[in-house]
Amino acid sequence: MKVRHAHALAMIEESRAGYPLEVCGVLLGRGPFVHAVVPVPNREATRPQVRYQIAPEDLARVQREGREVGLDIVGYYHSHPDHPSRPSDTDRAFAAEGLSDGVVHVVVGIDASRRATLTAWIFRDRGADFDRVDLEVE
């Protein structure tokens, strides 16, 4: 997955602004290239400090807007406030439901001092775990 420096910075800044809650969004692009980072509201009502939810209507809107300019959903991102930048058990359970097979998940680990770490992962098989993928920032 390749992202421009401005896109990586946008994910980090949103994670800082949303701290201590998880933030989330959609990555639009072509192939392994991200061309747009689209923040969406975290619709998780019960535990937004440790979970995120992208509403179907938000996802449909982003997908439609992306297609209008020739871009597809190539992944998602979300933050992990005060947790490592790797998928959690909740992330794995969500992926195992088949809702995000084969797309990249960028996890932004953010702590109280606002230090941020970005990692990228892909989930391909219900019986497996996430595999780390290279995240190239250009």
- pLDDT, mean of each 10-residue run, the chain (138 residues): 96 97 96 95 96 94 97 95 92 74 89 94 77 93
Ordered by where they begin, the domains of the chain are 2-137 (3.40.140.10)
Spatial separation of the C-alpha atoms in residues 95 and 129, rounded to whole Å: 9
pTM recorded for the entire structure? 0.93
What pLDDT score does 130 carry?
87
Pick the catalytic residue from 22, 44, 97, 138: 22
What pLDDT score does 95 carry?
77
Sheet holding 24-30, edge to edge: 131-133, 116-122, 104-110, 72-81, 24-30, 33-40, 2-3, 136-137
What pLDDT score does 31 carry?
86
What pLDDT score does 126 carry?
62
DSSP letter at 48 equals: T
Judge whether 22 counts as a catalytic residue: yes
